[in-house]
Structure 1
Amino acid sequence: MPERVDPHTAVTRELLVRYLDAWTPAVLRSPRGATYVEAGSADFAASALRVFGEFADRLAGHSLDVVLLCTGALREPDIPPGLSLRSVDDPADLTVAGPVLAHLDVLAGTLDEPAVWRLVTALGPGRAREVLVTLPPATTAEVAGHRTRLREAGLPCAVTVELADDAGHTQLLLFATDSDKHLTTFKNELWAADEFAGIRYRDPHDPEHTMIDISLNPQLLPLRRVLLDELARRGTRTVADLQRHTLHETIYRPTDTIDVLTVAATAGAITREPPKGRMSPRTVVRKP
């Protein structure tokens, strides 16, 4: 009988695979080559290699370096031309080139949290560096501290989301990059993932701790509260301003901002200029 996979792990692995499907063809265009670092488990490494194998035709003439950091060797992996695979036991010996995506899993036990943050600090400087990190549950203050570390490492575009099951067991998932575009891509995959065994999302910054089903059309009440609070603090804002706030400060997508503001304007919770027509990034909104 196959071993039961922890649903938190299943969701994280699907998110990684989904994001790699978008990341791989993009970074293969880099003349410097690219690097993927796996510091979690051999299962995650095998999943990543399967994704890379789907792009075998594009790997020819390019360079993609896969580094297994403290994960051990895989069983006879099939390595297509253009892809290299190596193991590194000491994080201090890690070298990378070109765009980098690193999956760092504290809960897998291969690296402790201080070692993970040292790696984030080392990997962050440079162009097109990204990390996907799994951490234990954290307080709001601790999450804010994580975000500060990421900004200091040169990774200002980030999302932190709690994966919570029906029994209340949670893990903190963190994705960080220096690109708004790549953050948007990851968030799109976040909501496109399949739901596993009752796993739901929770925004660590949400004071109501609302549990949200994984869905392409998620519940938007927490985002409504955030945007109305932002308008109360800042006054008049454009829709583009609020879309940036959604992207950087919530677990939602910029496109969700339009849906929330359209409903809020219809209900009279906000006013808009121009008062009619399709709401666009240039539309100006305020609380009445």
Structure 2
Amino acid sequence: MKAALGIAAWTRTGSGIYGTNASLRTCRSSSSNGAGALPKPEAAPSTVVPGTNDPTPNTRQTRSRPSRRCDRSRSAPFRKCPSGYIPGVPVPSEPIWSCDPHTVAKHQILKVYLKQWLPTLLLGGYRGVTYAEGFAGSGVYQGGEAGSPVIALRAALGQRQLLEAGKTVDLVFIEEDQRRFDILKQELTKVWAAASQAAPVPATLRRPHLRCADHADVLLPVLEQIGAMRQPVFAFLDSWGGTDVPLDIARAIATAPASEVLVTFGTRYLIRFGEQDRQKEEGDRVFGGTAWRKVFTLPAGQKKLFLVSTYRRSLQEAGFRYVTSFEMLDEGGHDLHLVHGTSHLRGLEKMKNAMWEVDKVGGVQFRDPRDPAQGLLELGLEPNLMGPLHRALQARLTERPHTVAELKQHALCETAYRAQHVFPLVRRMLREGHIEQSTPGPLSDNTLLQLAGPKPVQDSLF
């Protein structure tokens, strides 16, 4: 349990949110339902940085960190931390760094998804929604590329018609590094000012709520204090791939109606360092239990798949009915997983659409972590006849015959593919003789399919 931190209390004054520091202990329950009451902090007047809902620097209380003993050489874009907060995980040493292929792919997916998520929820009977980030970064990269907070703000600004109709959007950005935080404020202020030149930004798009702190300590309290937990929340928890995101955060967000999480999940850290006592405790917080520790007894080739599958189950137990994941692999062989949790099938469908609509990014490839053969996904193309989806459907039919509709559901919920990928692949599998129909008639969702039986051996004539 981390020590209690002083965090800014939020009170509504006019159209802005004002903050001041007050002592607040965040209750992270270890119970199965994750319940933990958040005490109401005392409020006092303060000032706000123009363009954001951020307390001024002199009102923030910073947190002390254990010595990282890292290589802080400016010649390298990343430093390797053998010990400290996230040992063994590459962390940028500068406030702005280059946008690697992993990040380009993630941002393309996020941009496509938010374009679908915002109007779907706002038109679906909800008065407002909240987008939140726990690792916001600087909002910009060395090449001038927009960071995820800027992408999210622009996506919200693009919903002007719904905003003018009275729908509300809140944006919450948490960044622990003071240098990145200061740059982030500047980038968001520039985007807001540019949008205001054409026409005033509707008041229903609240100025972003910014906090310079550890997301594990302040994200949930801020969401509670601005009333976000009474409406849909989409939380993007894009960490460095260490043990940064306690499951309690996802569990709490799952209690908000129609809420979702998108988590960056890495396996290398736990595989390399997980047997150390401190890292075991960190892993327990990430997974919400000790089941993940079985990884220490598995062969090397099974460790990654086991950790990803166990984390998916942890998110499901936390309250997200549908959890999907896919792996991004760069040219150097470095892997990173995006794990999406939602309780609505439509949310799962839209995330799959966002993934498959992403442009092909140079230097990064995609893989379904559940595919035993670890075949690469050809985004934008029809599934390969002998590829991951073919193997998944064949394995499913090995159990018993299934209808086409059941195979569609399996592909959507248990693979990296979409339901619409199934029908054309089934036709090809029928033509090639891999499977056969158990029911007569034209191929439809109700058609029962089974694996093709052995072909009869013809007698040879001599």
TM-score, normalisation: structure 2: 0.58
Identify which of 187, 204, 207 aligns with 2:352. Answer: 187
Identify which of 433, 447, 453 aligns with 1:268. Answer: 433
Separation (CA, whole Å) in 1 of partners of 2:112 and 2:439: 38
Separation (CA, whole Å) in 2 of partners of 1:217 and 1:18: 20
Does 2:158 align with 1:64?
A: no
Does 2:225 align with 1:130?
A: no
Separation (CA, whole Å) in 1 of partners of 2:240 and 2:244: 13
SS at match of 2:263: strand
How many aligned residue pairs are there?
282
Does 2:239 align with 1:106?
A: yes
Structure having the higher Rg: 2
Contact 2:233 / 2:256 at 8 angstroms: preserved in 1? no
Aligned to 2:185: 74
C-alpha change, 1:260 and 1:133, in structure 2 (3 Å) is same
Contact 1:28 / 1:59 at 8 angstroms: preserved in 2? no
Q: Specify the code of the residue in structure 2 equivalent to 1:101.
A: F
Separation (CA, whole Å) in 2 of partners of 1:12 and 1:70: 18
Query: How far 1:274 sits from its partner (Å)?
Result: 4.2
SS at match of 1:256: helix
Does 2:379 align with 1:214?
A: yes
Aligned to 2:210: 87
Separation (CA, whole Å) in 2 of partners of 1:211 and 1:4: 26
RMSD: 2.0
Deviation per residue, 1:146-180 (Å, 9 max, x gap): 11111112112121111012221111111111111
Percent of aligned pairs with the same residue?
A: 29
C-alpha change, 1:191 and 1:31, in structure 2 (3 Å) is closer
Separation (CA, whole Å) in 1 of partners of 2:425 and 2:256: 36
Separation (CA, whole Å) in 2 of partners of 1:154 and 1:100: 14
C-alpha change, 1:131 and 1:107, in structure 2 (3 Å) is same
Contact 2:324 / 2:415 at 8 angstroms: preserved in 1? yes
Separation (CA, whole Å) in 1 of partners of 2:326 and 2:246: 18
C-alpha change, 1:6 and 1:116, in structure 2 (3 Å) is farther
Q: Specify the code of the residue in structure 2 equivalent to 1:98.
A: Q
C-alpha change, 1:92 and 1:157, in structure 2 (3 Å) is closer
C-alpha change, 1:132 and 1:276, in structure 2 (3 Å) is same
Aligned to 1:37: 132
Separation (CA, whole Å) in 1 of partners of 2:116 and 2:375: 29
Contact 1:158 / 1:248 at 8 angstroms: preserved in 2? yes
Q: Specify the code of the residue in structure 1 equivalent to 2:395.
A: D
Deviation per residue, 1:82-107 (Å, 9 max, x gap): 11121243234132231111110111
Deviation per residue, 1:168-227 (Å, 9 max, x gap): 111111111111112111111211101112311111111111122322434351111111
Does 2:250 align with 1:117?
A: no
Query: How far 1:126 sits from its partner (Å)?
Result: 3.4
SS at match of 1:120: helix
Separation (CA, whole Å) in 1 of partners of 2:127 and 2:317: 25
Does 2:371 align with 1:248?
A: no
Query: How far 1:57 sits from its partner (Å)?
Result: 2.2
Contact 1:104 / 1:116 at 8 angstroms: preserved in 2? no
Q: 1:142-221, aligned counterparts within 5 Å?
A: 142-219=307-384, 221=387
Aligned to 1:11: 105
Contact 2:404 / 2:449 at 8 angstroms: preserved in 1? yes
Query: How far 1:18 sits from its partner (Å)?
Result: 0.2
SS at match of 1:200: strand
Query: How far 1:231 sits from its partner (Å)?
Result: 0.6
Does 2:156 align with 1:52?
A: yes
C-alpha change, 1:259 and 1:209, in structure 2 (3 Å) is same
Question: What residue ranges of structure 2 are gaps of 5+ in the alignment?
Answer: 1-95, 140-146, 196-200, 269-303, 454-462
Aligned to 2:444: 280
Contact 2:237 / 2:245 at 8 angstroms: preserved in 1? no
Aligned to 2:297: none
Q: Specify the code of the residue in structure 1 equivalent to 2:205.
A: L
Deviation per residue, 1:2-50 (Å, 9 max, x gap): 9641010000001000000001111223444111102233321011111
SS at match of 1:147: helix
Separation (CA, whole Å) in 2 of partners of 1:26 and 1:52: 13
